[in-house]
Amino acid sequence: MSSEVVVEVSGLRKTFPIYDKPHHRLFQMFSRARRWHREFEALRDIDFSIRRGETVGIVGRNGSGKSTLLQLICGTLTPSCGKVSVTGRVAALLELGAGFNMEFTGRENVLLNGTVLGLERREIERKMPEILAFAGIGDFIDRPVKTYSSGMYVRLAFAVAIHVEPDLLIVDEALSVGDEAFQRKCFARIEALRQRGCTILFVSHAAATVIELCDRAILLDAGDMLADGAPKAVVSSYQRLLYASEERAGPLREQLLRDRLHSRDEGRLAESRLPGEESRKLAPPPDSSTDSVERPYFDEGLCSQSEVAYLSQGATIEDPRIETMRGAQVNVINAGERYVYRYRVRFDRGASGVRFGMLIKSLTGVELAGGVTARTEEALEWVGPGAGFDLRFEFTCRLSPGVYFMNAGVQGRLGEEETYLDRRIDVVMFRVMARRDRKTTGFVDLVETMEASPLEGNTETA
Ligand SMILES: Nc1ncnc2c1ncn2[C@@H]1O[C@H](COP(=O)(O)OP(=O)(O)O)[C@@H](O)[C@H]1O
Ligand SMILES: [Mg+2]
- pLDDT tens per residue, range 233-246: 898 889 888 888 88
Overall average pLDDT of the 89-113 stretch: 81
Q: Look at strands 338-347 and 388-396 and give their pairing.
A: antiparallel
* pLDDT reading at 289 higher than 60: no
* pLDDT reading at 5 higher than 80: yes
**Other CB atoms within 10 A of residue 153 CB:** 25
Please tell me the distance between residue 14's alpha carbon and the centre of ligand 1 in angstroms: 10
Contacts of 228 (CB under 8 A, 6+ apart): 48, 216, 217, 218, 219, 234, 260
| C-alpha span between 434 and 403 (Å, rounded) | 10
| C-alpha span between 268 and 216 (Å, rounded) | 20
Which pLDDT score is estimated for 2?
67
**∠ Cα 54 211 300 (to 5°):** 135
Q: What CATH architecture does domain 5-88+167-287 belong to?
A: 3-Layer(aba) Sandwich (3.40)
| C-alpha span between 172 and 404 (Å, rounded) | 27
How do the domains of the chain map onto residue ranges? Answer: 5-88+167-287, 308-432
| Backbone phi and psi for residue 249, each to the nearest 5 degrees, phi listed first | -65, -40
- What would you measure as the largest C-alpha separation in the chain, in angstroms? 86
Query: Is the CB of residue 29 less than 8 Å from the CB of residue 36?
Result: no
Overall average pLDDT of the 20-25 stretch: 81
Q: Which run of H or E residues covers position 419?
A: strand 417-432
Pocket test for ligand 1, best of 24, 44, 67 (most atoms within 8 A of CB): 67
Give DSSP secondary structure letters for 190-223: HHHHHHTT-EEEEE-S-HHHHHHH-SEEEEEETT
- Give the confidence band of 285 by pLDDT, cuts at 50, 70, 90: very low
Pocket test for ligand 1, best of 19, 28, 40 (most atoms within 8 A of CB): 40
Give the closest residue (by CA) to ligand 1 atom 6.
16
Overall average pLDDT of the 350-371 stretch: 90
Please tell me the distance between residue 275's alpha carbon and the centre of ligand 1 in angstroms: 38
Give the closest residue (by CA) to ligand 1 atom 27.
63
Region of residue 96 (left: phi > 0; alpha: psi -120 to 50; beta: else): beta
Domains 5-88+167-287 and 308-432 share a fold: no
Which pLDDT score is estimated for 155?
86
**∠ Cα 302 332 283 (to 5°):** 95
Relative orientation angle of helices 150-163 and 180-195, to the nearest 10 degrees: 20
* pLDDT reading at 207 higher than 60: yes
| C-alpha span between 60 and 437 (Å, rounded) | 24
Q: How far is residue 124 from each of residues 98, 120, 182, 275, measured CA to CA in Å?
A: 21, 6, 23, 44
Which pLDDT score is estimated for 226?
95
**Among 162, 216, 220, which Cα is nearest to 191's?**
162
Contacts of 318 (CB under 8 A, 6+ apart): 343, 344, 345, 346
Give DSSP secondary structure letters for 289-316: GGGSPPPPB--TT---S--EEPPPSSEE
Contacts of 125 (CB under 8 A, 6+ apart): 111
Ligand 1 atom with least separation from CA of 203: 21
| C-alpha span between 194 and 185 (Å, rounded) | 14
Overall average pLDDT of the 18-47 stretch: 83
Which pLDDT score is estimated for 331?
93
* Percent over 70 (pLDDT), the chain: 90
Which pLDDT score is estimated for 387?
95
**Among 295, 293, 397, 301, which Cα is nearest to 341's?**
397
* pLDDT reading at 287 higher than 50: no
Residue 274 or 68, more confident:
68
Please tell me the distance between residue 167's alpha carbon and the centre of ligand 1 in angstroms: 27
Which pLDDT score is estimated for 177?
64
Query: Is the CB of residue 405 less than 8 Å from the CB of residue 429?
Result: yes
* E strands in 337-416: 338-347, 351-362, 367-372, 380-383, 388-396, 402-414
* pLDDT reading at 299 higher than 90: no
Q: Which run of H or E residues covers position 56?
A: strand 55-59
**Other CB atoms within 10 A of residue 107 CB:** 16
Give the closest residue (by CA) to ligand 1 atom 17.
65
Give the closest residue (by CA) to ligand 1 atom 24.
63
| C-alpha span between 198 and 91 (Å, rounded) | 11
**Other CB atoms within 10 A of residue 116 CB:** 10
pLDDT tens, residue by residue, 167-180: 999 988 766 666 66
What single-letter DSSP state applies at residue 327?
S
**∠ Cα 413 415 420 (to 5°):** 35
pLDDT tens, residue by residue, 52-83: 999 999 999 889 999 999 999 988 899 999 99
* pLDDT reading at 345 higher than 60: yes
pLDDT tens, residue by residue, 424-433: 988 999 999 8
Please tell me the distance between residue 398's alpha carbon and the centre of ligand 1 in angstroms: 40
For ligand 1, residues with CB inside 6 Å are 16, 40, 42, 60, 62-68
* pLDDT reading at 279 higher than 50: no
Mean pLDDT taken over the chain:
85
Q: Which CATH class is domain 308-432?
A: mainly beta
